[in-house]
Structure 1
Amino acid sequence: MVLGTSSGAGKSWVATALCAWYRAQGYKVAPFKAQNMSNNARVVATPDGQWGEIGTAQYLQALAAGAVPDVRMNPLLLKPEADTHSQVVLFGRVDEALSRMPWRGRSLQVWPQIAQALDELRAENDVVVIEGAGSPAEINLHASDVVNMRVAKHGGAHCLLVADIDRGGAFAHLYGTWALLPEGERQLIQGFVLNKFRGDASLLAPAPQMLQELTGVPTVATIPMQFQHGLPEEDGVFDDRGSAGGGQAVHTTIAIVAYPRISNLDEFQPLLQVPGVRVVWARSPAQLAGADWVILPGSKATAADLAWMRAQGLDAAVVQHAGAGRRVLGICGGLQMLGEALVDLHGVDGNAAGLGLLPLATLFEPAKTVQPAGHELPALRAPWQALSGVRVQGYEIHHGRTQLRADMQAGASAQARELLTGMLWQSGDGAVLGTYLHGLFENAAVIHALFGQGAPSLEQVFARLAKGVSQWFAREAGAGT
């Protein structure tokens, strides 16, 4: 089990690397995270032959493990819709009753099902790599815990505790987390991991030895900072320090609007791997200036995020960008924003006027569309014509149906076309493209068509992570810790 001293310590990344390493050793491996809080989700099959969703981290960990992604790998997914409310997804499906239930009351309801899912995965696999959430030492949450030490105790897990040493205070974080755990739970901590280290590792001495003397727990790995490891960040937007052209001259700058309830941002990770492409997370009009593309990503609260854009002046900046004939791409919630109107008769998301860049109206519905999607893209107008005829695979996760409205055609949207029924639309002048298809850039053919070159495949990323595990853990073993 991979625990962390905080969110952002690197639990998801380390767990993925371990899944890849155990697979490379010939084991049958599965990932597990009892409860994930994230608006990054992927579509997987459910036991009844339908479709559900799990956290992206567990989806990628399953691929790293060479396993088929399964709803049992992330039985509980919390998708924040506001600061004090989340949509609760249990075994892939939205559970309205759990969504209305108080946080602490939920644990008694879901724990038996979580425990059963873990037991089944353990019975079916040689190794289960479990990821914790946040910190196991959140003492205000300990009594209602269903994702950290309760899981560790149930499975008798060998636990690693990961700290982000780049933030500073790593040894205090490790010791403090260990010290706050009850004695019986401390004994499950088998090793400390220092993640995101920059510099000369020999300068860490004598701290690891001193920490072991205090706790009895060795430091088993020091992992160097990995700016371009090839996986999306689990918490928040990814670090763009490695995205400024990949060390090459920048030929394309892509600004992705980072509104508060952004969702499925992980699908843009491949863009960071393309040489010459610079990715900017835009929260102000100034950050759109000079961009070649603007992307409006998915949103878990489309009407509220659209209101936020207007408050920042980003709505006018996006319209101005499109008016200059430069590319605008809207995905899922971003597509809905591009239209003329958001209509909510059921209290799902909220009513709002759209940006008016496509003659579309979206009607929100209580039922949620969750399904895989595969299409051959039809003939597109410039500047998106390079995608014509490209076959793509992706997925849909959204509330609402969107329709082309001839009575709303005006300006740049005149003669707009619906290119794939209920899925893909393009403005009359060609600059604005909107789609419900998530995962567009995860198709190698799309990256090649748009940029004339490729990005590392996931299998290449996983192989590199497996090799890294052998190096990072062996280095500490050789040092006697």
Structure 2
Amino acid sequence: MTAKCVMVLGTTSGAGKSWLTTALCRYYARQGLKVAPFKAQNMSNNARVVGPHAPPLRGSLPPEGANFPWGGPAENWFPQGEIGSAQYFQALAAHAVPDVRMNPLLLKPEKDTQSQVVLMGQVNAELSRMEWRGRSASVWPVVSRALDELIADNDVVVMEGAGSPAEINLKASDIVNMRAAQHANAACLLVTDIDRGGAFAHLYGTWAMLDEAERRLIKGFVLNKFRGDATLLAPGPQMLQDMTGIATVATLPMWWQHGLPEEDGVFDDRSVASGAVSTTVAVIAYPRISNLDEFQPLKNVPGVRLKWVRSPAELMGADWVILPGSKHTSGDLAWLRQQGLDQAVAAHAGRGGAVLGICGGLQMLGEALIDPHGIDGNAPGLGLLPVVTVFDETKTVRHRQAAFAPLRGLWAAMSGVGVQGYEIHHGQTAPHSAMAAAGDLAHAVMPEGLAWQNHAGNVLGLYLHGMFEDPRVLKALFGAAVPTLDSVFDGLADYIGEHFAPGVLQSLVE
């Protein structure tokens, strides 16, 4: 089996690469083809736990006891680890089991000039310290091997680029765009966001800055997020084809409510279903926010409005306040205080309002962050849960299934409800011993320190990501069912099947 490779490139970040890649994965999978996604390098704090998986039974495996370039024995070739959320959803769209090959390099920004580097699912401290241009040369053998393995295992590999493939200051060390495309001899689509304006200039400029060999891989231009009468685009597409020799193969209308989480968790009121609002959920959007894609199901619940909060004024009127995950908990906690949001959250809780902290958000809700190893930083917490978090050098990355113990107050509807999710964190949280001795005890509402609740019952913190992706939780909290991911993926495939020129999608894999 040797896969045909289709690659989605973009003129900019946010052009629609991830969305279109996901749609293509389901489109080709519905034709009975074995499909896998691939993105050589992703930069995102939205990550999912995958694996462990058994190694493929092929002669390409090293001899027993040999080590891979990223470290670890051969029997753990697909270890449990992290990949970008976008590639996780793309794998599900492809009816494939997500594994670390699909996103071999993941950069998780911790500061403006610093990222944690995850290679083949595992944090790599040496690469995290390395200057990024040198890093590309170091990781390419691992990245290309992962791609080669997927090509050997599948009928179609749908690849995704990053940013733009024509950034002349980055191109020499860029491993995620044209280097990967040429390695796989991929049939490439170049997508642009026409809603932002300048679409034809973006397409032409990107094409013009590619090498001749790279241009030959571009098989079509895609106009994404178009609003209005498509006939008004003429004669632009034909003029562009006359200049480049490349046809515009699809004009995709704006679609706000497709149901797929945005790669960076971005949402706004335009993407919220219409209707009467019964519950307003405010998610605090600190600078190093992570795993926002897990809130997508709330957007699809009738009567729920989800909104960003970056100031105390925006918190007014919220029924729930959520402190989501963070890639730098102490830094985001300091930002929270600078905005005055610490007092606003405390006031909301003091009025009996619902407060939920997930992962880094749980850590913020406690009394203190203690960092003996220099992982994240020391800081006083918000003091809304009588717990303390100590950061550990070892990162917890695993799938989990657990059930809530009896819960109090606003969260009581989830008592006894089973939840399936995942953990990604360095901190370990436990009751504050002195406060517990004085009678102020945090109530453990999941086993093994996974979740804690205050005595009043309105503040809940848990390490388990993905709670709202479990239909049992949504049923308990809202009495509602939401569209399944499968139905979302099918909708995406139907959409591109309707709007691409006839025969184009099939020609890409012939």
TM-score by length of 2: 0.91
1:438 to 465, 490, 503: 465
Q: Distance in 2 between matches of 1:124 and 1:18?
A: 18
The residue type equivalent to 1:118 in the other structure is L
Q: How many residues align?
A: 475
What are the equivalent positions in structure 2 for 1:294-313 lying under 5 Å apart? 294-313=321-340
CA apart distance, 1:228: 1.1
Judging changes above 3 Å, is the alpha-carbon distance between structure 1 residues 477 and 54 closer, same or farther for their aligned structure 2 residues? closer
CA apart distance, 1:238: 2.3
2:445 to 416, 419, 426: 419
On the 8 A contact 2:190/2:203 being kept in 1, the answer is yes
Are residues 1:184 and 2:213 paired? yes
CA apart distance, 1:414: 3.6
Once structures 1 and 2 are overlaid, which stretch shifts more, 141-150 or 417-426? 417-426
Q: Distance in 2 between matches of 1:456 and 1:474?
A: 28
Are residues 1:100 and 2:129 paired? yes
On the 8 A contact 2:264/2:293 being kept in 1, the answer is no
Q: Distance in 1 between matches of 2:409 and 2:390?
A: 29
CA apart distance, 1:248: 1.1
Q: Distance in 2 between matches of 1:9 and 1:240?
A: 20
2:337 alignment partner, SS class: helix
What are the equivalent positions in structure 2 for 1:39-438 lying under 5 Å apart? 39-46=45-52, 48=76, 50-235=79-264, 237-243=266-272, 246-408=273-435, 414-420=440-446, 421-438=448-465
CA apart distance, 1:236: 5.5
Where does residue 20 of structure 1 map in the other structure?
A: 26
Q: Distance in 1 between matches of 2:87 and 2:301?
A: 25
Q: Distance in 2 between matches of 1:12 and 1:207?
A: 25
On the 8 A contact 2:386/2:441 being kept in 1, the answer is no
CA apart distance, 1:452: 1.2
Q: Distance in 2 between matches of 1:475 and 1:82?
A: 46
On the 8 A contact 1:222/1:476 being kept in 2, the answer is no
The residue type equivalent to 2:182 in the other structure is K
Q: Distance in 2 between matches of 1:273 and 1:408?
A: 40
Q: Deviations over 1:47-98 (max 9, x none)?
A: 5164200000000000000000010000000000000010000000000111
The residue type equivalent to 1:25 in the other structure is Q
CA apart distance, 1:233: 1.2
Once structures 1 and 2 are overlaid, which stretch shifts more, 199-208 or 299-308? 199-208
Q: Deviations over 1:303-335 (max 9, x none)?
A: 000000000000000000000001000000000
CA apart distance, 1:475: 6.5
Q: Distance in 1 between matches of 2:166 and 2:398?
A: 37
1:7 to 13, 35, 38: 13
Q: Deviations over 1:105-137 (max 9, x none)?
A: 011111111111111101110000000000001
TM-score by length of 1: 0.97
On the 8 A contact 1:220/1:476 being kept in 2, the answer is no
The residue type equivalent to 2:135 in the other structure is R
2:449 alignment partner, SS class: coil
1:35 to 17, 34, 41: 41
Q: Distance in 1 between matches of 2:259 and 2:436?
A: 41
Q: Distance in 2 between matches of 1:51 and 1:122?
A: 21
Q: Distance in 2 between matches of 1:248 and 1:445?
A: 23
1:470 alignment partner, SS class: helix
Q: Deviations over 1:272-311 (max 9, x none)?
A: 1111100110000011101000000000000000000000
1:250 alignment partner, SS class: coil
1:253 alignment partner, SS class: strand
Q: Distance in 2 between matches of 1:367 and 1:475?
A: 52
Q: Distance in 1 between matches of 2:264 and 2:475?
A: 28
Q: Distance in 2 between matches of 1:163 and 1:224?
A: 12
1:400 alignment partner, SS class: strand
The residue type equivalent to 2:35 in the other structure is V
On the 8 A contact 2:21/2:90 being kept in 1, the answer is yes
Query: Identity across aligned pairs (percent)?
Result: 67
Structure 2, gaps ≥5 residues long: 1-6, 54-75, 506-510
CA apart distance, 1:410: 11
On the 8 A contact 1:159/1:191 being kept in 2, the answer is yes
2:32 alignment partner, SS class: coil
CA apart distance, 1:400: 1.4
The residue type equivalent to 2:11 in the other structure is T
1:199 alignment partner, SS class: coil
Q: Distance in 1 between matches of 2:243 and 2:299?
A: 42
The residue type equivalent to 1:372 in the other structure is H
Q: Distance in 1 between matches of 2:363 and 2:338?
A: 18
Q: Distance in 2 between matches of 1:270 and 1:51?
A: 25
On the 8 A contact 1:4/1:133 being kept in 2, the answer is yes
Q: Distance in 2 between matches of 1:474 and 1:179?
A: 24
The residue type equivalent to 1:159 in the other structure is C
Q: Distance in 1 between matches of 2:131 and 2:504?
A: 45
On the 8 A contact 2:367/2:432 being kept in 1, the answer is no
2:496 alignment partner, SS class: helix
1:98 alignment partner, SS class: helix
Judging changes above 3 Å, is the alpha-carbon distance between structure 1 residues 477 and 126 closer, same or farther for their aligned structure 2 residues? closer
The residue type equivalent to 2:478 in the other structure is F
CA apart distance, 1:377: 1.5
Q: Distance in 1 between matches of 2:269 and 2:285?
A: 13
Once structures 1 and 2 are overlaid, which stretch shifts more, 399-408 or 436-445? 399-408
Q: Distance in 2 between matches of 1:242 and 1:19?
A: 23
The residue type equivalent to 2:122 in the other structure is R
CA apart distance, 1:418: 1.1
On the 8 A contact 1:46/1:92 being kept in 2, the answer is no
The residue type equivalent to 1:187 in the other structure is R
CA apart distance, 1:415: 4.2
Q: Deviations over 1:393-412 (max 9, x none)?
A: 0000001110012423599x
Once structures 1 and 2 are overlaid, which stretch shifts more, 193-202 or 58-67? 193-202
